[in-house]
Chains A and B, each alone.
Chain A
Amino acid sequence: MDATAAPRTQVDSRGSSCPGPITDLAMAYRRAKVGDEIELWATDPGVKPDVRAWAAKTRNEIVSIEDQPDKIVVIVRIVRR
């Protein structure tokens, strides 16, 4: 493991559509510190526009949004808190 990597919290929101993965992301953000990364797993495709809107609003960074066969993996970096 890269010793310089940012601390990353993994959040599994697969199977969640109401209220949805954005709940889990927002809860993880409440506990996060600047420099942390949050890796969010979701199956609800609505996660993509929601995360983009969330990042724009909170002025945090989206590292990647990746479609995998069984899930969508979103990584955000906390730069403001």
Chain B
Amino acid sequence: MGVLAMKRILIVGGGTGATMLANMLDKRRFDVTVLSKSRAHVFQPAFLYVAFKHGNPNIVRDERRLLARHVRFVEDAVTRIDLEAHTVTTAGDARYEYDAVVVATGVTTDPSQIPGLTEVNAQFGDYHTNVVQAQKVWAALDSFRSGTIVLGQSTPIIKCPPSPVEGILLAEELIRRRGLRQKTRLVFITPFPRAYPAEPMNEIVEPVLRSRGIETMTFFDVDRIDPETRTISSIAGDEIQYDLPIIIPPFVGAEIAYEPASVLDANRFVVTDKQSLRIKGFDDAFAIGDATNLPTSKAGVGAHLEAKVVARLLEGAPAEFHGRTHCPMDLAYGLGTFVIGSYTAPVLKYPPNRLNHLMKAMMGHIYWVSLRGTLEPVFDWYFARTDPDKVRQAGEVAGHA
């Protein structure tokens, strides 16, 4: 195939999904450009450990070194994607044409949606925005001596659904290890009917929270925070007073204008077909990862598996996304579990143990290598081995019910 016949693929974004997809595409068939507003590629799951374990904040790599040599990388913020005209425009006033575009722009946090939250997040930090914010959480915990710690997500949509539970459990472990447990009230707020939204996983999580003396306030969808009286109010009218608030801000999609504008929902997530990952109404435009409105967890594993589906579709092979989630959950004290489900398979009641915790830690180590795509055979084997339907049929989660 000659150079002229090469398909021009434009990937917008520079995170897990964008990088994996770019590296998966055959350089003999595709002319690949990655357009990202920053060359800093951040391993975001480590924010949790920066915030609650004073973990190593060195979790950023140069995106250009993570991409295969044939992939063109341009550091420029995309401002407009015209799906009708097949063009992408940037803040640097450049204009790109494409044969296929893939949106992998992730999400950003937006505390301004909740009155008082901007102030609270500025003072006490949060562990979903960036390293600096996560370090603020650590600083706040480090200087905490007694009182009430309130932790939870402010609104129902969240990046990494297990992360609120992980945060409160790691905070409890830290407080206990410091000998402050008797002087500390720990309150977990959640907008959901139960501590973990998916019922089978809640059957694991709720007893753990109870056994560690953590109070849970359900249906606590944050309406406003008053930093003067240190009070958080929910839409349903509940209130809680804090000494240390660790509140996860709302999430929104990237600030990019689309033509047509109807491909964005109210939270600026891209309206995406659940199976084909095509942007609604367009055959040559796809969206992957956190940027989509898919009814599945916003997490790296989704971006990874969706990148794989889009790579195959671009190659002309049949492929479909099944909504697979596989999110590790740190339950503190060296225990871990995984949230495993799909569009059709309800979340498993997956037993907590030390091996699962070790696997979560290991994923942090292999992340940078996995972006290259060279570990795909291992991932294929692992995801097939842990397929939620197969695990359930094999009865491997029975006995832990």
A is bound by B: yes
Nearest chain A residue, comparing its CB with the CB of B221:
A26
A2 to B235, CA, bound (A): 31
CB distance from A50 to the nearest CB of B (A): 5
User: Are B266 and A50 interface neighbours, CB within 8 A?
Assistant: no
User: Are B295 and A57 interface neighbours, CB within 8 A?
Assistant: no
User: Provided the pairs A31-B266, A50-B193, A54-B193 are in contact, do residues A18 and B198 lie with their beta carbons within 8 angstroms?
Assistant: yes
User: Provided the pairs A17-B198, A17-B347, A23-B197 are in contact, do residues A30 and B236 lie with their beta carbons within 8 angstroms?
Assistant: no
User: Provided the pairs A17-B341, A17-B347, A44-B346 are in contact, do residues A23 and B157 lie with their beta carbons within 8 angstroms?
Assistant: yes
CB distance from B112 to the nearest CB of A (A): 14
User: Provided the pairs A27-B157, A54-B193 are in contact, do residues A18 and B235 lie with their beta carbons within 8 angstroms?
Assistant: no
CB distance from B232 to the nearest CB of A (A): 16
User: Are A29 and B274 interface neighbours, CB within 8 A?
Assistant: no
User: Are B323 and A81 interface neighbours, CB within 8 A?
Assistant: no
User: Are A23 and B156 interface neighbours, CB within 8 A?
Assistant: yes
A59 to B21, CA, bound (A): 46
User: Provided the pairs A15-B274, A18-B197, A19-B297 are in contact, do residues A58 and B339 lie with their beta carbons within 8 angstroms?
Assistant: no
Q: How many of chain A's residues have a CB under 8 angstroms from any CB in B?
A: 26
User: Are A26 and B191 interface neighbours, CB within 8 A?
Assistant: yes
Contact string, A20-51, partner B, CB cutoff 8 A, digits 1/0? 10111011011100000000000010100110
Question: Is B296 part of the contact surface with A, judged by Cβ < 8 Å?
Answer: yes
User: Are A27 and B156 interface neighbours, CB within 8 A?
Assistant: yes
Question: Is A63 part of the contact surface with B, judged by Cβ < 8 Å?
Answer: no
Question: Is B219 part of the contact surface with A, judged by Cβ < 8 Å?
Answer: yes
Nearest chain B residue, comparing its CB with the CB of A29:
B235
CB distance from A30 to the nearest CB of B (A): 7
Contact string, B351-365, partner A, CB cutoff 8 A, digits 1/0? 000000000000000
A19-B161, A30-B235, A53-B219 provided; 8 other pairs, C-beta below 8 A?
A: A15-B274, A15-B323, A17-B198, A18-B201, A20-B198, A27-B155, A27-B157, A58-B235
Can you list 21 contacts pairing A with B, beta carbon distance less than 8 Å?
A14-B295, A15-B274, A15-B295, A15-B323, A16-B295, A16-B343, A17-B198, A17-B343, A18-B197, A18-B201, A18-B296, A19-B158, A20-B197, A23-B157, A23-B192, A29-B235, A53-B193, A54-B219, A58-B219, A58-B236, A81-B235
